Structure 1
Amino acid sequence: MPQTPTVGRIVHYVSYGTPGGEYTSQCRAAIVAGVPVGALPLADGEHAEEWSSDTVVCDLAVLNPSGMFFNRCPQSEGEHRGGTWHWPERTPSTNEETPA
């Protein structure tokens, strides 16, 4: 069952990086600040042509080392393109005992 974004959830935002490659695209922590209501063309007509109608779009508060910014971003679970968000990857549990 797919996760549903709700206000207050933590997600990963993917930064764009710089065109010259001085800074690479990186995952940054972000908080879902809002989930637009309605279909994408109604929620964000400006991006209706570049995002498909089933794209999940969230308003994010992105936490960067140099400050915060706020942006409406589409979800990208597979490609993790710059300017998109995705659910944090799961890591294996480390509850096993460490040998002495």
Structure 2
Amino acid sequence: MGQKPTVGRIVHYVSYGTPGGEYTSQCRAAIVTEVTPLEGDEAAQADIENWDDSQRCRVSLAVLNPTGMFFDTRLCQDEVHGRGGTWHWPERA
């Protein structure tokens, strides 16, 4: 079982980057502002695929960018770090 996200925890948000490639997708520091349990079809899919506890919710984040803050809601966890608009736990140094 993975860690469970809770309000106030620090995570990494993966930015989308720009379609033309001027800006690449980057990991940014973020703070969890809300944790929402899965419902309906999402919860059923989690049961079918036996997702661990950390994936059975969506989180809202305050993302800390070098030029300001950004807020996003109901984000999925992606520990592969490849998809923009997702979050993951920070890597251990």
Shorter-chain TM range is 0.7 to 0.9
With the length of structure 2 as denominator, give the TM-score of the two structures: 0.77
- Give the 4+ runs in structure 1 shifted more than 3 A: 52-56
Structure with bigger RCO (C-alpha 8 Å, 6+ apart)? 2
Residue 90 of structure 2 aligns to which amino acid in structure 1?
P
Tell me how large the CA RMSD over aligned residues is.
1.9
Unaligned ranges ≥5, structure 2: none
Residue 6 of structure 1 aligns to which amino acid in structure 2?
T
Question: Are positions 1:76 and 2:78 aligned together?
Answer: yes
Percent identity over the alignment? 65
With the length of structure 1 as denominator, give the TM-score of the two structures: 0.72
Instruction: Point out the structure with the larger strand share.
Output: 2
Alpha carbons 2:14, 2:81 under 8 Å: kept: no
- Structure with max Cα Rg: 1
Instruction: Point out the structure with the larger helix share.
Output: 2
Unaligned ranges ≥5, structure 1: 43-47, 92-100
